[in-house]
Structure formats: C-alpha cells, structure tokens
Structure 1
C-alpha cells in the first residue's frame, strides 16, 4: 500500500491529482497499443521480408538493443529535463521510428530500414517506460493508495486494442506501412495531449527526494547498482519481463508454426494473452492488498509455468489457448510489482526504478535472439522452455519485493 501524501501538502487539488492519474492511464495505454500493433504483425513482417526465424529474432533484437541504450540514459535524461518533458520528447521521436519501421517492411522491403526504425522506437520507448513508471509511483504516493497494477492494466488494455487492430489489419490485408503509420500518429498525438496533465516528480520534495544525491549526481544515480535489493528485484522483473516479452514477440508466430493456425488466429491468440494480463492486473490490486507482494508473485510464477507447459506440450489448440490464459494471468503482475518495490524509498526511487527496469529489459535484449535461435533448431514451442527456467528464478527471488515494515504496519 502506498504511503499517503495529502494533496494539500503536495500543493495540488484533488481534480489535478486525478487528471494526472488519468493522463498516465492514457500514456500507459498508448504504449501498449503501439507495442502490440507491432507484435501482431510479426508473422506478416517475416513473410514480407522473407527471412528465417533466427533472422526475425535478430530484427526484434533491434527494439531490445535500443531499449538498453535508452534505459542506461533514462535516469540521467529525466534528471536533466524532468519526467514530464522526457515523456513528451521521447514519445514523439519514438512514433517517428515506429513509422519508419513500417515503411521499411512495405517499401523495398528493407531489413536495414526496419532495424533502424525499431532501434529508434525501442530506445525512446524504454526511456518513456522509466519516466512513466516514476510518474506512476509518485502519483501513487500522492493518492495514498496502490494503483501501479492499474497503470500497467491500461498498458494491457492498449495491447488488447493493438492486437485486435492487428488481427483486423491482417484479415483485410492492410499494408504494414499504412497500419503502423496510423498507430504512430495516434501514439504521438495522444501522448502530447496527455502530457499536459502530468505533474513534476519532485512534488514530494518535502521528503527530500529532490535534494537527494541519488537524483542530483551521476555517481549518486549509479551507486544504487551496489544495493543487493536492487539486483534481486531486478531479477524478479527480468524473469517476469521475459515471460511477458516472449509472448509479445513470439506467441503469434508460435501458434502459426507450432500449432498450425492461420496468421489471423495467431494475432487473436496474442490478443487473448494480453486480455488475460489485463484481467490479472486489475484483479492484482485486491490480491496484493489482501495477501501481499511475495505470495502473489510466487503464485503468479506457478500459474505462468502451468500455462507454458500447456502451450508447449499440448497439441490441442483450444487447450493451448487455455494455457495462454494461465500464462497471461501469471505474467501480469511481475513488472508492476517490481516497479512498486523499486520505488518504495522515495529518496532513491528514480535511480532504482531505472536500474530495475534496465535489468528487466535485459530480457528483451537477449530473449528474441535466444528464442529465435533455438526456435530455428528445435521449433518455437520447445524454445519457450527457456521461459520456464526464468519463471522459476523469478518465483524464488520474490522475497526481495516484500513491503517495507512501516508500510505493512500502516496497512494493518
């Protein structure tokens, strides 16, 4: 549960705080919309570029490579220009990269142009990810209640819409360039409107956040990497991000190649996955309040593992789809709970959120090429066995996300 900070002490009215929260809902949703729009067209991209599964893994690696660069720079960029301005800039530039990737698929096609577009999009997306999670953590504190899973549920809402639009675009054979250009315009336009309602992350300056060395200097921001709790929380997020990301990147194609479904069905199954994640995140607030972070994270890991086993080993499509539901529910809370845990101490929140997100995004860096390489040799379904290992690691590491004692005492 978040530590309350009254709107009066924060210098904001209740409507301002709620408008801030709603703007973050929109930004999280737009980010989910863009990511799922790309993921839903991956089978069509592979076909248009006429490349192998391993080559697609390298291409998807473009997003991850850009993401790591962006994450390493994120805390420094945010410290320099603030989270609000950061979000406005990076989402605009990221939309341009997204459109470039679409044109690279349909015009040429050019593998290199697609890669460049994805690197731009990935780097901007990851900086935004840290900035919006930091904004979410501060808003959560001002509201005085846990809302981080709901922010991430809106990301999932966006992915549901993106996957549905992707399935529709695939069904009517809409050119990828047109599809991604439309999404890029919606992405940038919606973000620029929403960012007007955001507030400074230094609104909790009375708690010495704005004056803490972790946020003022490069050395302070980097010192958070020496904290063992940062690394173990990062390990939780790494495992759960890999669990979520592997579905976003490969589930549609795994259904097509592993379960012999159509490309439109593959996109639809991806939509089922992200819908399950949305349900899990909305239900997660009540579960976290009732049981706490650690039991919920461990239960999530078990549920995700069961779902993965069903998808990998059961050849009946409808049973695999049930497994996809379990997989999505199990993967839903790892990232938002990790972000909340990273932001427990407001004096180190920006630096720790950035560090944990960087560790988590390592899954997106190594995941696509690893699964693509294994998928080329043993098939995509069996390649997903790697995800089971990381789910287990995340489950065992979940103790590091335990709520601070004062917060638990207050919630009681």
Structure 2
C-alpha cells in the first residue's frame, strides 16, 4: 500500500489522515465518556427510580432495543447519507436522550427514563458504526494496525467518565446534574470534530453509495458466514466489556459492602487495564497476528472473571478486574478490523457484526439482573466465562483473507 507521500498531493493527504486520526481518537473518547459516566451511577439511578436489580436490568434492555433497531439500518444509512450526516443525527439524539434521562431521575419517572434510554441506544449505534468505519479507513491509509488505539481512546474516555461519576457521587450532587453537565460539554466538542473525523469518507466507492446498492449490500452481508462468525466474536467481547460497564460497580458495592465511589473506581481500574493493553495492542497484533492475540486475550479474561467472581477478598477480586480488563481489551478492535478488511463492503459488514453486540446488550441486562436477584451480582457475572469460551472457539475467523489464502 503506497504511503500518502508517495502520490501527488501526498503532504496534503497525510495532513488529512492525521487530522482524521486525531479527531476520531477524540470522538471515541467522548463516546466512552457518555456511556460510562451514567452507567457508573446505576446505584443512584436504581435508588431514584425505586427499582430492584432485576427491574433495573429489564429497564436497561429498552436501550438495547433502541440500538438493535438502529444497528439493523445503520449500514444502509451510512451507505446512503455518509458518516458525517449519520454522526450529526447521533449527536442530536444523544442531547435529547440524556435530557430525558436527567428529567426522569429528577422526577422518578420510569417511563420517561425508558424513552431516554431507547433514544440513547439508537444514537449509540448511529455513532459506533460510522466512527469504526472511518477508523478502519484510517488504518488502511496508515498501512498498519492502529484500530486498537481508537478503542484505547474509548477506554480512556470510559475511565474519565467513571472518574467523573465518582466525583459527582462523592460530592453528593444529584445524578441529573451530572447527566446534564456531561452531555453539554461532550456535545460541543463532538460537533466541532465531526467534519475532520469523517474527512476520509466511508471507504467505499462513490458508485456504491446509492439507496439501492446500500440496501443490497446491507442485506448481502447477512449471508456471509465469516461476517456472522466475526459477529460471534463481537458478541462475546460485548458481553464481557458491556457487562462490566453495567454491573461491575454494582457488583463491588453489593458484593463487598463498598461505597458507590469505590465501585466507580473499580470500573475505572477495569477500563484503565483495557487502555494499557489497547495502546500496546497494535505492536502485539503486528507481531503475532490477530488470532494469537485474540486467543491470549480470551485466556486472560477467563482467569480474571474467575478471580473476580470467586475471590474471597476485594484485593483478590481487584486482581481479577485487572486481568479481566486486559483480556477484554483487544477482542472488539480485532473483530471490527476483520469485518473491515474489504473497504467496499466495510459499512454493511461492520453493521452486521455489531448487531451481535446489540444482541448482547438486549440479552445480558435482564438475564444477569434476574440471576443477580438469586445469587448476587458478583456471582452472576461468572456466566460470562461461557462467552469467553465461545470467542476462543471462533477466533480463527478474524484471520485476514490474504493469510487464509496463503495457508491454503
């Protein structure tokens, strides 16, 4: 692959790639801030709405339903309107969604909370898919593995969001104040960076961006076995990472009689571990390949989950949190990179693969919530070990097509 400087206008092309790269890094970070800053306040939200753990899990599934609706059509939307327009719509949706969440937690209105969660779920899909497609385009332009860096930025944002939540919780400010403050700051920065972040486009040929071809591509990706198996990798990765975001702070609070701020810091530890591995992950992937890295990650996550779920002390459980975070770090970027190997079909394939993420979001909250009511949140998280084993069983599907042809 020629470098940007090897073609006419190379200096300008390199500047465009760098601007897109840094803008996308910030977009990923802000996406992480939005998600974890309110998820880390679930104990307060549960109290304000007067719900049990099982009822809260059932309510959170509404957000997953919104994501599922959006993710099924986002590939076609990106193919038709482009990533830039899609991100503008997502940013607007988040403003309204978080406004509804703030109002709901202030008034204890469960129905209003459900509407806000659904809108935020839809906006999350409309954000997640285009920024990953654009990031994969940057990776192709650079010519080496850099996608984990974008997911590391997400982890940094998630850690920052957890720290923000801990600060608000420690100060005793109402969760509604936090929701309104965070979304106001994040929206301004996101809006300023949408244009440079999408400067490279969606990686598809102009001719493919028509309504009919976009629909055909979106439907055709559902018939590709490799894409579906990559989706299973994302399913397992999302169960591991997403369940930590939803339940880890609550598991620490309930399982060890800790303060809410300690639970938020525990999740901050998880995402910090993910961040460190994601920053180092590009070198690991370039040296050892996607399959080896994915299998090693699964082994670390499995050990970490067992330590967290079965450890008799908070100290030992904290070691498990670190290993769990390290193991969960690279599965998502590796799977997204694999789904984006062919730039002409990246949008529909990423949309199909990430739809498995939505299935995880729909299934995990209510099932884990119901199980948590019976055995406790910390023990309920042990069921994620099965998802890790599933990811290990299909790890070979993330191998780049050219490597598969060489092996054959």
Q: TM-score range by the shorter chain?
A: over 0.9
Partner of 1:138: 137
Partner of 2:380: 383
CA distance in 2, matches of 1:130, 1:201: 15
Q: How does 1:1-400 map to 2 (within 5 A)?
A: 6=4, 8=7, 12-106=12-106, 108-200=107-199, 202=201, 204=203, 208=205, 210-211=207-208, 216-400=213-397
Shift of 1:202: 4.6
Shift of 1:32: 0.1
For 1:146, what is the secondary structure of its paired residue? coil
Distance 1:408 1:303, change over 3 A: farther
Shift of 1:212: 8.1
Distance 1:85 1:219, change over 3 A: same
Distance 1:82 1:270, change over 3 A: same
Structure 1: give runs of 5+ residues left out of the alignment.
none
For 2:208, what is the secondary structure of its paired residue? coil
CA contact (8 A) 1:10 1:204 kept: no
For 1:348, what is the secondary structure of its paired residue? helix
Structure 2: give runs of 5+ residues left out of the alignment.
none
CA distance in 2, matches of 1:242, 1:302: 15
Shift of 1:6: 3.1
For 2:38, what is the secondary structure of its paired residue? helix
Distance 1:143 1:9, change over 3 A: farther
Please say which of residues 13-22 and 392-401 is displaced more in the overlay: 13-22
For 1:307, what is the secondary structure of its paired residue? helix
Shift of 1:60: 1.6
Shift of 1:204: 4.8
Normalized against structure 2, the TM-score is what? 0.94
Shift of 1:63: 1.9
CA distance in 1, matches of 2:300, 2:283: 18
CA distance in 2, matches of 1:314, 1:274: 20
Q: What's the C-alpha RMSD, in Å, of the aligned pairs?
A: 2.0
CA contact (8 A) 2:50 2:108 kept: no
CA distance in 1, matches of 2:249, 2:158: 13
CA contact (8 A) 1:105 1:114 kept: yes
CA contact (8 A) 2:80 2:209 kept: no
Matched, 1:402 2:396: no
CA distance in 2, matches of 1:9, 1:55: 60
CA contact (8 A) 1:209 1:348 kept: no
For 1:359, what is the secondary structure of its paired residue? helix
Distance 1:170 1:310, change over 3 A: same
Shift of 1:82: 0.6
CA distance in 2, matches of 1:14, 1:39: 38
